Amino acid sequence: KQSHLPVAAAPEEVLAGGACVGADSLLRFLANYSRSGEVKTTITVGVVGYPNVGKSSLINSLKRSRACGVGAAPGITKCLQAVQLDRHIQLLDCPGVVMESGDPPAAAPLRGALAPQRLQDPLSPAAAILHHCPAEQVREG
Q: Cα-flanking dihedrals φ and ψ of residue 82, to 5°?
A: -90, 135
Element at 95 (helix H, strand E): none
Task: For the chain of 141 residues, list the mean pLDDT of each consecutive stretch of 10.
Answer: 65 70 87 82 91 89 90 80 94 83 70 75 83 78 56
> Distance between CA atoms of 112 and 95, rounded to whole angstroms?
12
**What pLDDT does 44 receive?**
94
**What pLDDT does 3 receive?**
59
**What pLDDT does 71 receive?**
83
Q: What ranges do the domains of the chain cover? A: 7-97, 102-141
**What pLDDT does 120 receive?**
85
**What pLDDT does 1 receive?**
47
Query: H helices within 1-141, ranges in order?
Result: 12-16, 23-33, 55-63, 107-110, 123-131
